[in-house]
Amino acid sequence: MPQFAEIALPVPLRQNFSYRIPDTIAPMPTQGVRVEVPFGQQKMIGLVTNISDTCDLPPQKIRNITRVLDDESLLSEPLYKLTEWAARYYFCSHGMMLSQAIPVALRKGASAQPETIRYYALTEKGEQSDSNSLGRAHAQKKIVELLKGSEVTVEEAQALELSVSALKALRERDWIDIYERPVTTDISWRDALKMGEAPHKLNKQQAVAVAALNHQQGFHCSLLEGVTGSGKTEVYLSLIETVLKAGKQALVLVPEIGLTPQTINRFKHRFQVTIAVLHSGLTDKQRLDAWRQARSGEAAIIIGTRSALFTPMAWPGVIILDEEHDSSFKQQEGVGYHARDLAVMRGHLEDIPVVLGSATPSLESLHNAIAGRYHHLQLSERAGSAVKARQGVIDIRNQPLRGGVSQALFNEMRIHLQAGNQVLLFLNRRGFAPALLCHECGYLHECDRCDAFFTLHQSLGEIRCHHCGNQYAIPRQCHNCGSTMLQGQGIGTEQLEGILSKEFPEYPVVRIDRDTTSRKGSLEQQLNAIHRGSFRILVGTQMLAKGHHFPDVTLVALLDVDGALFSADFRAPERFGQLYTQVAGRAGRASKPGTVLLQTHQSDNPLLQDLLQRGYGEFARSQLEERRMALLPPVWHMVLIRAEAHQAEDAENFLRAFAEQLGQHKELELIGPMPAPLDRKAGFHRRHLLVQAADRRLIQQLFEHALPIVEQLPLARRCRWSIDRDPQDLL
């Protein structure tokens, strides 16, 4: 009897494809294995989703599977189900979702089986040597001490940024070497877990949280709400110890910017186990290796950014999401999935606990915690000796500003600098100035492809559009009147850096933003230099706000918060509250008390006052109440349909037709079509249709009905469109 297979292919068409299984093929494909099939003129690799005896296609139309790549399913049952569920939830094809979940190398046909691992370890000579004899060769000493604990794979050595020259020197001494072994899957950690450094003694709140988490069996989601520096990471480490001791693995997800060598080191110091690290900077091969280590159970701990969520585990034990409010967990391009929401679903399908941690929880998670769906754990005090920062507002109405800095702030900076401390200034605008202004006619130079102003980058001699990447040499003459009196309007980080260097010539300034950290490893270098005290004044965008410890920073100032308070996006207050609280958390982390200052023209803005007086926790709860009244997420559910076209009508007509297919419903609110906040970008006119409903199931049902019809409309081919479920920003 002929057999047929349904195959999920990585193409945007929202369907699977039928193929014949030829008698001659081996092994016999089953659900979840990869197969190679002809697709149009090409060959493609896809995943079998179903096997059946019948097929709807006429026999002459059906083509043969040409190769079977695996003899067992690539993904465990729960993980497979997760991709299936996610495809349905995010309205994309199963094949597209799978292509998010599976490493590129596997999608190109690499073997899923373990290969070889290359690692650094001590030689016999190295074992017998005393690292103190290395004298002042600190980098070498550090490596030897690390290797005394456990071997380090070549990938880990890179991730930890071990000095390449020190590694080379140690190999020349014949103290260490690179060894290679087939991955015979060393899972000895399951029987005898080797510990590293002894942990801190947990304080009372930490102990309560750990006890609650250790107690859980099966699926359970907890929100660990702990102020910055309250010791959340210590709680994770304690929980992970319990999990590893039970022979199970831990998956830790961190925001893109949080995956630094310091983060990995903290885990590495506590547990002498293999840690698989997955992030977007890896080569396809490195990513595959880490994936295999996790799948075979060799890696006891898996740490990664968003897409590491899909890493298979032989013995899944727990999923932890740190800084769960961070927007990098939501993928913005292509399939717009949210790693936090999928992590909770994965925990459910795997029947393991999930822990979401943050000092500034998202309103989504807070809503779930308050409603009792999540276990709510709180750490309200800073761990160790650090005390809460003093906070203040500088009203800059009618105040003279230099580089956007008031005299009051300059004075305060001087006090902290003279006391030998570091100062951090936060300004969320990179470049020299956010616009180029003609002093004669008032014209602001605008991108020719977007409805946005060019940002002036003085040091590059360019004006750049931050929305489409468009760039030109700085014009000599006004495009409107021909005048040569052109000047920057407003202040960006580049200009601020220059002004501070002049104001405080004796204190070195460092600037951290996307422009100064674009080279790989440069952020790390700059952070290290800050830690060494090479810089005294730190200027940066929100890159500086996240997760870094700067023990000598005692003054943190936010220069211009008015823009953040008046953004059109309904999430703006939440985002601002998170940002402020995270930035404020950078002040006085160690034994030195900190100060946080905020410059604003809106010192009596009620939102700002609410945040300052009651703190993020209370502020967020009142925001949640406002969302409830306004029928906004997370209380109501939202889907954003975006369409863009060269002709605005094309986008608009398409969205109108979409709205028509969704139909009228008293529990459904449709807003639009309307112009997007940035209504022209890179030459395209952009239009939005917002769909809101109280019930997720209603959204699911209406879209599943409408999509097959909408996709067939000729209008659908006249624009580029996409569906963003639970959108994180409305741009």
Question: Annotated binding site: which residue ranges?
Answer: 438, 441, 447, 450, 465, 468, 478, 481
- Among 234, 341, 364, 644, the residue binding ligand ADP under the rule CB under 6 A is 234
Scanning 368-376, 412-420, 472-480, 643-651 for contacts with Zn ion by CB under 5 A, the matching segment is 472-480
539 Cβ partners below 8 Å, 6+ apart? 424, 425, 427, 493, 496, 497, 500, 509, 510, 511, 512
Scanning 16-24, 67-75, 227-235, 631-639 for contacts with ligand ADP by CB under 6 A, the matching segment is 227-235
**Residue ranges at the known binding site for Zn(2+):** 438, 441, 447, 450, 465, 468, 478, 481
Query: Which of the choices Zn ion, ligand ADP, none does residue 290 contact, using the CB cut-off of 5 to 8 A by kind?
Result: none
Q: Is residue 483 within the footprint of Zn ion (CB under 5 A)?
A: yes
Scanning 41-49, 95-103, 153-161, 199-207 for contacts with ligand ADP by CB under 6 A, the matching segment is 199-207
Query: Which of the choices ligand ADP, Zn ion, none does residue 228 contact, using the CB cut-off of 5 to 8 A by kind?
Result: ligand ADP
- Cβ–Cβ < 8 Å for 235, 210: yes
- Among 231, 255, 488, 577, the residue binding ligand ADP under the rule CB under 6 A is 231
| Tokens read off for 259 | 């995956």
Query: Which of the choices Zn ion, ligand ADP, none does residue 84 contact, using the CB cut-off of 5 to 8 A by kind?
Result: none
Q: Is residue 233 within the footprint of ligand ADP (CB under 6 A)?
A: yes
Q: Is residue 676 within the footprint of Zn ion (CB under 5 A)?
A: no
| Tokens read off for 291 | 């994936």
Q: Is residue 345 within the footprint of Zn ion (CB under 5 A)?
A: no
- Cβ–Cβ < 8 Å for 502, 403: no
Sheet hosting strand 176-182, strand order edge to edge: 152-153, 116-122, 176-182
Q: Is residue 588 within the footprint of ligand ADP (CB under 6 A)?
A: no
E strands, 296-421, are 299-304, 316-322, 353-358, 375-379, 390-395, 401-402, 405-406
Query: Which of the choices Zn ion, ligand ADP, none does residue 384 contact, using the CB cut-off of 5 to 8 A by kind?
Result: ligand ADP
Q: Is residue 255 within the footprint of ligand ADP (CB under 6 A)?
A: no
| Tokens read off for 684 | 């395209």
- Among 3, 76, 131, 203, the residue binding ligand ADP under the rule CB under 6 A is 203
Q: Is residue 717 within the footprint of ligand ADP (CB under 6 A)?
A: no
Scanning 93-101, 202-210, 242-250, 555-563 for contacts with ligand ADP by CB under 6 A, the matching segment is 202-210
Scanning 86-94, 116-124, 222-230, 560-568 for contacts with ligand ADP by CB under 6 A, the matching segment is 222-230
- Among 280, 283, 380, 480, the residue binding Zn ion under the rule CB under 5 A is 480
- Among 37, 447, 544, 715, the residue binding Zn ion under the rule CB under 5 A is 447
- Cα 730 to Cα 330, 541, 622, 638: the distances in Å are 13, 21, 22, 11
Q: Is residue 467 within the footprint of Zn ion (CB under 5 A)?
A: yes
- Cβ–Cβ < 8 Å for 304, 287: no
Scanning 68-76, 158-166, 221-229, 310-318 for contacts with ligand ADP by CB under 6 A, the matching segment is 221-229
- Cα 353 to Cα 211, 212, 225, 531, 629: the distances in Å are 14, 11, 16, 36, 32
| Tokens read off for 232 | 């959340």
Distance CA 277, CA 300 (A): 11
The distance of closest approach from Cβ of residue 365 to ligand ADP in the complex, given in angstroms and rounded to an integer, is 16
Distance CA 356, CA 702 (A): 31
Angle at 711 between CA 710 and CA 717, to 5 degrees: 105
Letter for the amino acid at 466? H
Letter for the amino acid at 29? P
Q: Is residue 222 within the footprint of ligand ADP (CB under 6 A)?
A: no
Comparison of 220 and 232: residue with beta carbon closer to ligand ADP: 232
- Among 82, 436, 438, 558, the residue binding Zn ion under the rule CB under 5 A is 438
Sheet hosting strand 390-395, strand order edge to edge: 390-395, 595-600, 553-558, 422-426, 537-540, 509-512
Scanning 29-37, 263-271, 477-485, 703-711 for contacts with Zn ion by CB under 5 A, the matching segment is 477-485
- Among 15, 203, 470, 605, the residue binding Zn ion under the rule CB under 5 A is 470
Distance CA 439, CA 486 (A): 6
Comparison of 266 and 466: residue with beta carbon closer to ligand ADP: 266
Query: Which of the choices ligand ADP, Zn ion, none does residue 447 contact, using the CB cut-off of 5 to 8 A by kind?
Result: Zn ion
Query: Which of the choices ligand ADP, Zn ion, none does residue 656 contact, using the CB cut-off of 5 to 8 A by kind?
Result: none
- Longest alpha-carbon distance in the chain: 86
- State CA 244 to chain mean position distance: 26
Give the CB-side neighbour count of residue 48, counting CA atoms within 13 A. 27
Comparison of 233 and 249: residue with beta carbon closer to ligand ADP: 233
Query: Which of the choices Zn ion, ligand ADP, none does residue 226 contact, using the CB cut-off of 5 to 8 A by kind?
Result: ligand ADP
The distance of closest approach from Cβ of residue 227 to ligand ADP in the complex, given in angstroms and rounded to an integer, is 7
Query: Which of the choices ligand ADP, Zn ion, none does residue 450 contact, using the CB cut-off of 5 to 8 A by kind?
Result: Zn ion
Distance CA 676, CA 644 (A): 10
- Report the phi/psi class of residue 218: left, alpha or beta, with left for phi > 0 and alpha for psi in -120 to 50: left
Q: Is residue 206 within the footprint of ligand ADP (CB under 6 A)?
A: yes
CA dihedral 284, 289, 291, 296 (to 10 degrees): 160
Among candidates 610, 557, 619, 554, which has minimal Cα distance to 583?
557
Q: Is residue 202 within the footprint of ligand ADP (CB under 6 A)?
A: yes
Query: Which of the choices ligand ADP, Zn ion, none does residue 51 contact, using the CB cut-off of 5 to 8 A by kind?
Result: none
Among candidates 398, 469, 404, which has minimal Cα distance to 432?
404
Query: Which of the choices Zn ion, ligand ADP, none does residue 230 contact, using the CB cut-off of 5 to 8 A by kind?
Result: ligand ADP
Q: Is residue 478 within the footprint of Zn ion (CB under 5 A)?
A: yes
The distance of closest approach from Cβ of residue 213 to ligand ADP in the complex, given in angstroms and rounded to an integer, is 15
Q: Is residue 232 within the footprint of ligand ADP (CB under 6 A)?
A: yes
Kind of pairing between the strands at 684-693 and 668-681? antiparallel
- Among 43, 125, 194, 200, the residue binding ligand ADP under the rule CB under 6 A is 200
Query: Which of the choices Zn ion, ligand ADP, none does residue 367 contact, using the CB cut-off of 5 to 8 A by kind?
Result: none
Q: What string marks each residue from 375 to 404 as x (binds ligand ADP by CB under 6 A) or -? A: --------xx--------------------
Phi first, then psi, for residue 277 (nearest 5°) are -115, 125
Distance CA 731, CA 728 (A): 9
The distance of closest approach from Cβ of residue 585 to ligand ADP in the complex, given in angstroms and rounded to an integer, is 7
Kind of pairing between the strands at 274-278 and 353-358? unpaired
**DSSP letter assigned to residue 130:** -
**What is the contact surface with Zn ion in residues (CB under 5 A)?**
438, 440-441, 443, 447, 449-450, 465, 467-468, 470, 478, 480-481, 483
**What is the contact surface with ligand ADP in residues (CB under 6 A)?**
200-203, 206, 226, 228-234, 383-384
